[in-house]
Amino acid sequence: LKTIVSDIDIPCAFGPAYEGERVRGADLHCQAGGGKTQCTELVKMAEMNEIEDGKVILDGPDVTDLKKGDTFPLGIYVQVAGREFQPDFEPILERQTHHLVNYIQSIMHIGQRDIAWVRISDAAIEKGFSIKDIGVVLHAKYHQDFGKILDKVQVTLMTNKEDVDKLTARARAEYKTRDERVEKMTDEDVEVFYSCTLCQSFAPNHVCSVSPERTGLCGAYNWMDCKASYEINPTGPNQPIEKGECIDPVLGQWKGVNDFVYKASRGAVTHYNFYSMVIDPMTTCGCCECIAAMLPSCNGVMTVNRDYAGETPCGMKFTTLAGVMGGGASSPGFVGHSKFNITQKKFIKGDGGLHRMVWMPKILKEEIKERIERYGEENGIPGFYDMIADETVGITEEEILPYLQEKGHPALSMPPIIG
C-alpha cells in the first residue's frame, strides 16, 4: 500500500502514503470549499472526438495568484471518453477524486460532489504546486486504474466564481438523476447488496453496506453505482453481499451482511442495522453528507449536513459530530447518512422513520423540500415540511419544543424514542 507512484509529473510527492495526512491551520496556505466557497466535482462522459487526452485546462487564477489565508471557488470537471465507457461509470470515477487528490503530499481533500473541500499547505506552494496538478493526477491515475474502460481523459479546473456556479448547477441536476435511478427499487427486490470499503484508509473498520434504499453515506455511491463499480473492478472496494437470512426486518439486519461486515472490519464490527440510528446503527466515516442525532426531549431526531456550520440542538456542530463519529464505529444514537437517504422510504424506519425528524438546517430542508412534502402527503401528514424546525426557530431542544407542540409534530405522539 505504501508504494509511491513516481510516473506522475507534479512537483509534490504522490502516493497512498500521504492519504491520511492533514493540513492544519498554521500550515494552510489557501483553500476551496469547506463551507467558505463552492467546490464541486463532476465527471461526465464525452464523445471520443470531443476531448483531447491529457489536456488540462485551468480557467481562472492559480494558487500563485493567492495570498496566505485566501479562499477560492473550485470546479473540477473531468470529461472521459472510451469505447467501453458508459454513463453509469461516471459516479465511480468522480468518487476517486477524494483519495487521488489526497495522495498528493501536502494537499488535503474532504467530501465529494458539491461539498468537496481542498486545503493546500505552504509546503505544497513552496514546491511549486499548481491547481493544474489536480488534473495531471486525475488523468494519470484514471488511465492507470481504469484503463480498461476509458481511452481519453480531459480535465478542466475552474476558479472563477461564475464558472464554478454554473458547473455546480449542472452537477446538481446530474446528481439528482443519478440518485433517482434507485428510486423505484426496494431492499426486498434484490438478493444482493454491495459493500463499500473505499474509506477504510481513513476509517479502518468502516464498511458501508449499500442497498437500494440505503444510499452510501457520502451520497456518492448508490446501489446501482456499486454494481457498476463491481463490474469494472471485480476485486475492488465494492463487493456483492448476499443478504442471506433476514434477522430483523424492522431494524434491517441480515445474516449475510453481518458475516461480511465482521470479516471486512477485521472483527471490529459484528453486526449493524440498516434502518435504525438508535439500536446498533451502521458505522459512520468522515465523509458522510449528514449526521443524524437523537433529541430525547423532543422524542425525535435531528440531522445536520456538512455545509451547515452553525450550532444544532444536539449540542454539537457538524464538524464536532464528524470528529466524534467519523472513525468507523457504530455509535448508537447517531448515524451518518446521505442527503438523499433522508427521503428514502427505509430511512430510520426501525425508529419510526422520517416522522421522527424534528430539526434540520434550513439550507438542507430547502434542498430536499419537494421530497419531504411528498413524504408528508404519502404518509398522511399534511404540512409536514413546516412542522420540521430549523435554526430560525431555535438551536436547542428547549427552543424548538414549543414550536413542535404548536405545529402538532407527529414525533410528539409517537412511542418513546428510547425504549
Nearest distance in Å: CB 69, ligand SF4: 30
Q: Which residues contact 153 (CB under 8 A, 6 or more apart)?
A: 51, 53, 54, 78, 79, 80, 138, 139, 142, 143
Q: Which stretch binds ligand SF4 (CB under 6 A): 113-121, 131-139, 213-221, 251-259?
A: 213-221
Give the residue, chosen from 66, 118, 136, 285, that forms a contact with Zn ion under the rule CB under 5 A: 285
Query: What is the C-alpha radius of gyration for the chain, rounded to an integer number of angstroms?
Result: 21
- Exposed, middle or buried by CB within 10 Å (0-12, 13-18, 19+), for 358? buried
Q: 286 or 376: whose CB is closer to ligand SF4?
A: 286
Told to check if 199 binds Zn ion by CB under 5 A, we report yes
- β-strands 56-59, 192-196 pairing: unpaired
Q: Which stretch binds Zn ion (CB under 5 A): 65-73, 164-172, 281-289, 317-325?
A: 281-289
Give the residue, chosen from 12, 23, 138, 196, that forms a contact with ligand SF4 under the rule CB under 6 A: 196
Question: Residue 10 binds which entry of ligand SF4, Zn ion, none, with Cβ cut-offs from 5 to 8 Å by kind?
Answer: none
Q: Which residues contact 61 (CB under 8 A, 6 or more apart)?
A: 72, 159, 160
Question: Residue 91 binds which entry of ligand SF4, Zn ion, none, with Cβ cut-offs from 5 to 8 Å by kind?
Answer: none
Among positions 71-100, residues that touch ligand SF4 (CB under 6 A) are 95
Grid coordinates representing 90? Answer: 461516471
The residue count for binding Zn ion (CB under 5 A) is: 3
Told to check if 287 binds Zn ion by CB under 5 A, we report yes
Name the strands in the sheet holding 56-59, side by side, starting at the edge strand that comes first in the sequence: 39-45, 74-81, 152-158, 56-59
Q: Can you tell me the distance from the alpha carbon of 116 to that of 98, in angstroms, rounded to the nearest whole number?
A: 8
Q: Which stretch binds ligand SF4 (CB under 6 A): 24-32, 146-154, 208-216, 363-371?
A: 208-216
Give the residue, chosen from 39, 287, 321, 358, that forms a contact with ligand SF4 under the rule CB under 6 A: 287
The position carrying cell 426557530 is 393
Nearest distance in Å: CB 373, ligand SF4: 27
Q: Which residues contact 228 (CB under 8 A, 6 or more apart)?
A: 86, 88, 89, 91, 92
Q: Which residues contact 249 (CB under 8 A, 6 or more apart)?
A: none
Told to check if 322 binds Zn ion by CB under 5 A, we report no
Q: 107 or 285: whose CB is closer to Zn ion?
A: 285
CA 107 to mean position of chain CA atoms: 19
Q: 150 or 196: whose CB is closer to ligand SF4?
A: 196
Q: Can you tell me the distance from the alpha carbon of 259 to that of 337, in angstroms, rounded to the nearest whole number?
A: 22
Among positions 317-376, residues that touch ligand SF4 (CB under 6 A) are none
CA 399 to mean position of chain CA atoms: 30
Told to check if 261 binds ligand SF4 by CB under 6 A, we report no
The residue count for binding ligand SF4 (CB under 6 A) is: 13
Q: Can you tell me the distance from the alpha carbon of 237 to that of 230, in angstroms, rounded to the nearest whole number?
A: 8
Told to check if 293 binds ligand SF4 by CB under 6 A, we report no
Q: 287 or 329: whose CB is closer to Zn ion?
A: 287
- Which residue ranges make up the site for Zn ion (CB under 5 A)? 199, 285, 287
Binding residues vs ligand SF4 (CB under 6 A): 95, 196, 198-199, 208, 210, 216-218, 220-221, 285, 287
